[in-house]
Amino acid sequence: VTRYAPEHKDQVHRRIVSRAAVQLRQKGVRGVSVAELMQSAGLTHGGFYAHFASKEALIAEACSHVMAGTAERLSAAADGVEPLASRAALIEAYLSPAHRDDPGRGCVIPALGAELGREGPAIRQAFSAGLQQVFDIVAECTPASTPEQARQDALATVATLVGTLLLARAAADSTLATEILDAGRAALLN
């Protein structure tokens, strides 16, 4: 191995978080094992505790990381287009079959939602903070009479997005999954 560059540790740290972010969304909190994760990051499991105090600390960090990524992706989807179309673009992006079929690279909320409510405060804080960001982004591209109204609409919109994706993923047959996705899109776009 090359001698440790000063930024080496940070890079490793980030790689672990990044791998964890993917596996978390694919397999859930309990489905991720420290050993497997470290191996997929090219390390052995012993080194894990040089980077994180515990598995929980990693999960919390990975949560923040993913929420930030989600916010960024939503922003990007809404940014390129004219203001009026931005909300629609965002919804289309969120409720796409691609997003449904690739949880590992998508939004954490439908992927982990329920599990997060059972975890400790550190994880919930990390999650809540990201959630607020998402709400703000959606509110920004929501046309409404007042900012309060826009925020309220945004909350409901996010709820529908999340619920729709969740149901679509859990549905046993793909016909139903597609029907759910379509219904969600239709309802949000009037």
Partner DNA sequence: ACGCTCGGGACTGCCCGTTAAT
Partner DNA sequence: ATTAACGGGCAGTCCCGAGCGT
Using rule CB under 8 A, residue 170 touches a copy of itself: yes
| Window 136-155: residues binding a copy of itself (CB under 8 A) | 151-153, 155
The count of other CB atoms within 10 Å of the CB of residue 176 is: 13
Looking at residues 95 to 114 of the shown chain, list those that interact with a copy of itself (rule: CB under 8 A): 103, 109-114
For residue 43, state whether it binds DNA (rule: CB under 7 A): yes
* 46: partner contacted, choices a copy of itself, DNA, none (Cβ within 5-8 A by kind): DNA
Judged by beta carbon, residue 96 or residue 152, the one nearer a copy of itself is 152
What contacts 123, CB < 8 A, 6 or more positions away? 56, 59, 60, 63, 116
According to CB under 7 A, which one of 14, 55, 124, 151 is a site residue for DNA?
55
Among 25, 51, 99, 100, binds DNA (CB under 7 A): 51
**Under rule CB under 8 A, which residues in 9-28 are in contact with a copy of itself?**
26-28
| Position 172 contacts a copy of itself (CB under 8 A) | yes
Q: Is residue 120 a contact point for a copy of itself (CB under 8 A)?
A: no
| In the complex, least distance from residue 32 CB atom to DNA, rounded to whole angstroms | 6
Q: Which stretch binds a copy of itself (CB under 8 A): 51-59, 66-74, 76-84, 182-190?
A: 182-190
Q: Which does 94 bind (CB under 5 to 8 A by kind): a copy of itself, DNA, none?
A: none
